[in-house]
A and B are shown apart, each in its own frame.
Chain A
Amino acid sequence: MRDVPLEAIRDSFEGIMPSVIATTDAAGMPNLSYLSHVHYVDSDHVALSNQFFSKTAANVELRGRATVAVLDGRIGVQHTLDLVFESSSRSGPIFDRVSAQLDVMASLQGKSHMLKLRAVDIYRVEACRRVDPVIAIDKPQRAGVERDLLAEAAAATAELTAITDAETLLDRSLEILEERCGFRHSMILIADEEGRKLQTVASRGYPHFGFGAEIAFGDGIVGVAAERRLTLRIPDMRRSQRYVSAVAIASGLARDDIPLPAIAEPQCQIAVPLISGGRLSGVIFAESEESFAFSYAHEAALEIIARQIAASLLIFELTDAAGDGAARHTAAGGGTDADRTFGFRFFPRDGGVFIDNDYVIRGVPGRLLYHFVRSYAETGRREFSNREIRRDRAFNLPDFKDNLETRLILLRRRLEERGGPIRLERPDRGQIRLLIEGVPEIRVVEG
């Protein structure tokens, strides 16, 4: 019999302190072990990561039973669960999610070699009992009504479906996430399959926007969410001591990189892949200075909104690809070009662009910028269209599903944040106008 539904205690499964598992051996001696996470499977089952606790594993194999104590880090209430072992799994969606979660935690703690998941054990929950405090040593401070995040997500998607262009969608979605769900620091990163990287295209709640800042697939919570196509959440980063340096490593910061938007002391992070039509277009990420700021309900709300963002981005791409906005091929002249020259270096290997020795961007946005600037230098052209870009094989755009519009947004924003001498304007839907102050001295660096 179930006293407490598992859904009611999901936030206890990743508590402020490790959960405790107790078993009994052949001689009748109890054994205790700590668990980093208890994973919710469904209303009758939980999964435990079986990594180290060999005595526990032996006892479970013998008796088929375990007792687990979990603590809700937000309100201090514990629950004890009576578990019956059902199966062990080395693959599948539960295994993948637990494995990804552990990999992120391990990389944050600098122990990636230690925490490789071997299997997840699935248990049926026979009983779930609440352990109330017999003496309240403190009272809950947040007595207010919790937001109905399902209703907020519905309202958010309603507003997002009314938006008709990608740029408004990107910015408005981050605003809505703050207004409706309380995500105060967030960003959207666009996947670049060529470089296996993600690039920041929109951000909110940071000291700088960081447009173009990169995270490699597989690095940190954002990179792992993209690589495995899984939602990941770290409720309490205090449990990892070395996260600051780890975040710097995960960001892949190097000499020529753009700093990733960051808050000083993140305690809670979440990353949701943007997937539509089976294809990953990017990742939406949010973080907070407050531990346990994002619950399972926040995670579900963000997933709903993320799917709407991904679907809308795909629709905009399809609409754009089907449109016939041809370039107007405006000739040079009448511009505001100054006489000064500036260096423009392009690296075909990774699409990297440097202006006067400063890194600007790489990947597809870099290839686009090179195309615009070269065309301008050769013919004086300033006006380009999405349509011609899609037709040009030189950009390595395999088909219409290439996030062209979001890449152009990213490129325009990166150039804007950088502040000259090159800027982009979007005079009309599907149109791009190049603004250059000075004369580019283009050099293509092979190798």
Chain B
Amino acid sequence: MLEDDVAAFIAGHVMMIAATRDEAMRAHIGRGCGADFDPDVGDLTLLVSATQWPEFCANARPGAPIAFTVCRPDNYKSLQIKGQIIDVREATADQAERGRRYLEGMLAVMADLGVTRLQLSTVLTNADLVAIRFWPADLFLQTPGPGAGERLRSGA
């Protein structure tokens, strides 16, 4: 369901947050360290530090729901993608390298906006990355404002 424009947006310099939930329906927040859309299969892979966000990752299990928001830090343009997790694995060497590049790129972008590395110490972390692959079912506009939460596309 993700078309080229959305895939390009995700692949750009965007901040990433995600949420899973536990059995008691309590949501758990994690921050992403890169994401990759596979156009052939149509699924998304999100990289998250398992040690930085243990509760989020503990609830990221195959079959579990996930919400994923990407936000451009210079204009707050945001999209939220919701879907179902297909599988969760330790990041491969390629994915870890992708996470490292994402982290370095975002540090540079944020530095241009006046945000320091210190301020991002717990926001951008690539330690012990896990790759959470999920099927995107719904896409919502999430830019802060009256239109936030508007459903753009549904693949469900």
Interface residues of A (CB under 8 A from B): 16-18, 20, 22-24, 27-34, 36, 52-55, 63, 65-69, 71, 73-78, 80, 82, 114, 131-141, 238, 291
Contacts and interface: CB of A to CB of B under 8 A. Distances in A.
A34 B21 contact: no
B109 interface: no
A138 B27 contact: no
Interface string B5-21: 00000000001011111
A443 B116 CA distance: 59
Given A67-B26, A73-B119, A141-B118, A134 B65 contact: no
Given A32-B142, A82-B26, A134 B118 contact: no
B116 A65 contact: no
Contact of A67 (B28, B66, B121): B28
B29 A69 contact: yes
Query: Which secondary structure characterizes the binding site on chain B?
Result: loop
Given A31-B67, A134-B127, A24 B29 contact: no
Contacts of A33: 142, 148-149
B115 to A, nearest CB: 6
Nearest to A126: B26
A401 B7 CA distance: 65
A69 B117 CA distance: 19
Contacts of A20: 17, 29
A30 B123 contact: no
A134 B51 contact: yes
A17 B122 CA distance: 12
Given A30-B20, A32-B80, A134-B125, 15 more contacts: A17-B73, A22-B19, A24-B25, A28-B21, A32-B69, A32-B142, A33-B142, A34-B142, A36-B144, A54-B148, A67-B28, A132-B122, A133-B121, A134-B52, A137-B120
Interface string B62-92: 0001111101010010101010000000000
Which of A33, A66, A77, A136 has the largest count of B CB atoms less than 10 A from its CB? A33
A30 B27 contact: yes
11 contacts: A17-B73, A18-B144, A29-B82, A32-B18, A54-B148, A65-B27, A76-B122, A82-B26, A114-B146, A134-B128, A135-B125
A139 B114 CA distance: 17
B145 interface: yes
Nearest to A31: B67
Interface in B84-120: 107, 113-120
Size class of the contact patch on chain B: 35 or more
B45 interface: no
A23 B65 CA distance: 12
Contacts of B67: 22, 29-32
Contact of B78 (A34, A36, A54): A34
A137 B142 contact: no
Contact of B65 (A28, A73, A140): A28
B123 A78 contact: yes
Interface string B123-155: 111111000000000000010111011000000
Contacts, number: 139
B107 A137 contact: yes
B121 A77 contact: yes
B29 A53 contact: no
Contacts of A16: 115, 119
A60 to B, nearest CB: 11
A75 B123 CA distance: 12
B29 A80 contact: yes
Contacts of A54: 148-149
A277 B72 CA distance: 49
B128 to A, nearest CB: 8
Contacts of B118: 75-76, 137-141
B35 to A, nearest CB: 14
Contacts of B125: 133-135
A404 to B, nearest CB: 45
A22 to B, nearest CB: 4
A136 B69 CA distance: 25
Contacts of B107: 137
Contacts of A134: 49, 51-52, 125, 127-128
Please name the 8 residue pairs, one residue from A and one from B, whose CB atoms are nearest each other, closest first. Answer: A76-B121, A22-B27, A30-B19, A138-B117, A133-B121, A22-B19, A138-B118, A30-B67
A67 B27 contact: yes
Nearest to A36: B144
Contacts of A29: 65, 67, 82
A211 to B, nearest CB: 33
A22 B145 CA distance: 17
Contacts of A27: 65
Contact of A238 (B19, B113, B121): B113
